[in-house]
A = this chain, B = another copy of it.
């Protein structure tokens, strides 16, 4: 089994009533700075303010009535946890989210607001806990990325980009486990294979770059990153297969450039992004990625969930 364009088209039909078809905007005010035609796909304006709702909704809408009655479980302190809580509320089913004790209060509160049951745990214990909840209560596990239903949902972003900007040349996608980039790459390459797909990941956590170099799943040392949505230390297995097949280049981005991307988007483009979501833009400003003036480049802005205090990170950043 793998992922195909028709899976993604079916996902789009399925989730359409529940999601926002987010805008693609041209950002003229960034073009001189970045040196290309600049477009952004604004998933920070998605419901729950992140792309994760697409994949989660596509998974939930394929559960049986019995599975829905039992409810779902996941382990996440971030946007995937929000999406599971919010989507479950929309469908009127029970959701349980195992939240590690490292979760910032801001993110924890959102999960509670969406009505999910929160179970506190540790980073080390969370997957074991999640499995014990599946065994004990019959919950269905909703994984964050290594799942074809999740990838098909995230891939709907690729379908929308090809519809909104059919003559795009390059698409840049941030990657953690790889659910988003594997979905988008499948949607785009199977629609128009001349469009180049680029992944971007923190230089401190280069799991895709290393795995591609080694031609096998490679776990990297966790050197830490400010990009709190991009902390996976190893690609998802199913995701990696698709990335090997369809992604043209992977770029590693320095911590300094990651911050520059967020500040540039805020101050020059007037768009608030979460720090993980504008890393490719930072990579270009800082000279870590090259583009050409005639290129039409679309950046997937993956989310906008951050507390006001988090803006302090970028206070003194220059670009």
Interface check A154, CB cutoff 8 A: no
Q: A residues 257-282 with Cβ under 8 Å of B? A: 266-267, 269-273
Interface check A77, CB cutoff 8 A: no
Contact of A45 with B27 in the complex, beta carbons under 8 Å: yes
Contact of A47 with B25 in the complex, beta carbons under 8 Å: no
Contact of B28 with A270 in the complex, beta carbons under 8 Å: no
Given contacts A23-B25, A25-B23, A28-B20, contact A45 B311 (CB under 8 A): no
Contact of B29 with A270 in the complex, beta carbons under 8 Å: no
Q: Which residue of B lies closest to A42 (CB)?
A: B270
Chain A residue total in the interface (Cβ 8 A)? 23
**CB-defined contacts of A311 to chain B, threshold 8 Å:** 311
Q: A residues 217-276 with Cβ under 8 Å of B? A: 266-267, 269-273
Count the copies: 2
Contact of B304 with A270 in the complex, beta carbons under 8 Å: yes
Given contacts A25-B23, A311-B311, contact A45 B304 (CB under 8 A): no
Indicate which residue in B42, B308, B315 contacts A267 across the interface (CB closer than 8 Å). Answer: B308
Contact of B49 with A28 in the complex, beta carbons under 8 Å: no
Contact of B20 with A270 in the complex, beta carbons under 8 Å: no
Closest 6 CB pairs of A and B: A270-B304, A270-B272, A44-B270, A20-B28, A266-B272, A23-B25
Which residues of A are interface residues toward B (Cβ below 8 A)? 20, 23, 25, 27-29, 42, 44-45, 47, 49, 266-267, 269-273, 304, 308, 311, 314-315
In the assembled complex, 26 residue pairs joining A and B whose CB atoms fall closer than 8 Å, in A order, are: A20-B28, A23-B25, A25-B25, A25-B45, A27-B45, A28-B45, A28-B47, A29-B45, A29-B47, A29-B49, A42-B270, A44-B270, A45-B269, A45-B270, A49-B270, A267-B272, A270-B271, A270-B272, A270-B273, A270-B304, A271-B271, A271-B272, A272-B272, A308-B314, A308-B315, A311-B311
